[in-house]
Amino acid sequence: MDFLNQRRAFLARTAGGFGSMALSTMLQPNLRSNEATQWFPPTGEPHFAPQADSVIWVFLNGGMSHLESFDPKPELDKHAGKTIAESPYQSVQDPKKLAQARVTVVNDANGQQRNKLYPTQVQFKKRGQSGIEVSDFFPHIGGVVDDLAIIRSMWTTDDNHGAQTQFHSGRHMLDGEFPTLGAWVHYGLGRLSDNLPQFISMGTREYWNKKDGHYLGPRHDAVPIRVDPANPLDFGKPERPLSAAEERLVFDLTANLDRHRSKTEPADASLSARLASYELAYRMQRALPIALDFSKENAETQKLYGLDRPETKTFAMQMLASRRLVERGVRFIQIQHGGGGAGSWDAHGDLKGNHTNNCRQIDQPLAGLITDLKRRGMLKRTLVVLATEFGRTPGSQGGTGRDHHIFGFTVVMAGGGLKGGLVHGTTDPIGFHAEENRHYVTDVHATILKQMGLNSRRLEIPDRKRLEIDHGKPITEIIA
Partner 1 sequence: MLLIALLLLVPTKADQPQPAPAKSLDKSIYLTKIKPLLAVRCLACHGALEQKGGLRVDTVKHMLTGGDSGPGLVPGNPKESPVLQRSAGHGAKRRMPPKEEGEEVGQEDLVRIEQWIAGGAAAPENETEDPDPRNHWSFRKPKRPQPSSVSNNPIDPWITKQWQDQNLKARPQADKRTLLRRVYLDLIGLPPTPEQIDRFLADSSTNAYAAEVDRLLKSPQHAERWARHFMDIWRYSDWWGLGAEVRNSQKNIWHWRDWIIESIDKNLPYDEMVRQMLAADEIYPTDSSKLRATGYLARQYFLFNRTSWMDETVEHTAKAFLGLTANCAKCHDHKYDPFLADDYYRFRAIFEPYQVRFDAPQNSIDPLQGFPRAYDCNLDKSTHKHIRGDEARPDTRRKLEPAAPTFLDFAPLAVQEIKLPPQAHAPEIQPWILEQYLKEAAKALAAAEGKVKDAASAVSLAEKVPPAVESKPGKILYSDTFDTLNPQAWTITGPGIWQSSQGTVSQTANLNSRTALQFKNEFPTDFEVNLRFRITGGEPWRSVGVSFDASPGNENNVYLSANATEPKLQIAYERNSTYTYPEAGKQGRAVPLNTPFDLTIRVQGKSVEALLDGKPSASFNLPDRSKGALLLTAFTATCAFENFEVRELPTSYRSPLSSKVLSLSQAKAQLAWAQAEYKTRQAEPEVLRARFTARTNQVAGPEAQATASALAAAKLQSQLAVFKAQTALALAQMELAMQGPAKEAAVHAAQKNLNEAEKAAKAPGDKFTPLTASAKSPESNIESSESKTKSYPTTSTGRRAALARWITHPDNPLTARVIVNHIWNRHFGQPLVPTLFDFGRKGSPPTHPELLDTLAVELMEKGYSLRHLHKLIVTSNAYMLDSSTAQPAEYKKDPENKALWRFPSHRIEAQVVRDSLLHLAGTLDLSRGGPPIPVADANNHRRSLYFFHSHNEHNQFLEQFDDAGVLECYRRERSIVPQQALALTHAALSLDASTAIAQKLSKPNLTDAQFVTEAHLVLLGRPPDAEEINLCAQTLNQLMREDKNATSTRARSLLVLALLNHHDFLTRR
Residues of this chain that bind partner 1 (CB under 8 A): 22, 27, 29-30, 32, 34, 36, 38, 104-107, 174, 176-177, 197, 207, 210, 214, 217-219, 223, 233-240, 242-243, 245-247, 249-254, 256-258, 260-261, 264-268, 270-271, 273-274, 277-278, 280-282, 284-285, 457, 462-463, 468
Please, what is the minimum distance in Å from the beta carbon of residue 286 to partner 1? Answer: 12
Q: Helix (H, G, I), strand (E, B), or coil: what is residue 143? A: helix
Please, what is the minimum distance in Å from the beta carbon of residue 250 to partner 1? Answer: 5
Best CA proximity match to 203, nearest among 349, 76, 330, 361:
361
Query: Residue 164 and residue 63: Cα distance in Å, rounded?
Result: 9
Q: What is the DSSP letter of 467?
A: P
Please, what is the minimum distance in Å from the beta carbon of residue 419 to partner 1? Answer: 22
Nearer to partner 1, 108 or 136 (CB): 108
Task: Give DSSP secondary structure letters for 384-452.
Answer: EEEEES-EE-SB-BTTTB--EE-SSEEEEEEETTB-SSEEE--B-TTS-SB-TT-EEHHHHHHHHHHHT
Please, what is the minimum distance in Å from the beta carbon of residue 29 to partner 1? Answer: 5
Structural element, H or E, at residue 10 = helix 3-14
Query: Residue 141 and residue 148: Cα distance in Å, rounded?
Result: 9
Query: Residue 51 and residue 382: Cα distance in Å, rounded?
Result: 9
Nearer to partner 1, 280 or 422 (CB): 280
Could you list the beta-strand ranges (E) of 77-131: 124-127
Nearer to partner 1, 1 or 174 (CB): 174
Assess contact for 64 and 361: CB atoms under 8 A: no
Give CA angle at 138 (132, 140), nearest 5°.
90
Please, what is the minimum distance in Å from the beta carbon of residue 256 to partner 1? Answer: 5
Please, what is the minimum distance in Å from the beta carbon of residue 459 to partner 1? Answer: 15
Query: Residue 48 and residue 50: Cα distance in Å, rounded?
Result: 6
Nearer to partner 1, 230 or 249 (CB): 249
Query: Residue 252 and residue 463: Cα distance in Å, rounded?
Result: 41
Nearer to partner 1, 1 or 257 (CB): 257
Please, what is the minimum distance in Å from the beta carbon of residue 396 to partner 1? Answer: 25
Please, what is the minimum distance in Å from the beta carbon of residue 180 to partner 1? Answer: 15
Burial of 162 (0-12, 13-18, 19+ CB in 10 A): buried
Nearer to partner 1, 253 or 290 (CB): 253
261-to-264, 266, 349, 444, 451 alpha-carbon distances in Å: 6, 8, 64, 47, 42
Nearer to partner 1, 234 or 293 (CB): 234
Nearer to partner 1, 81 or 462 (CB): 462
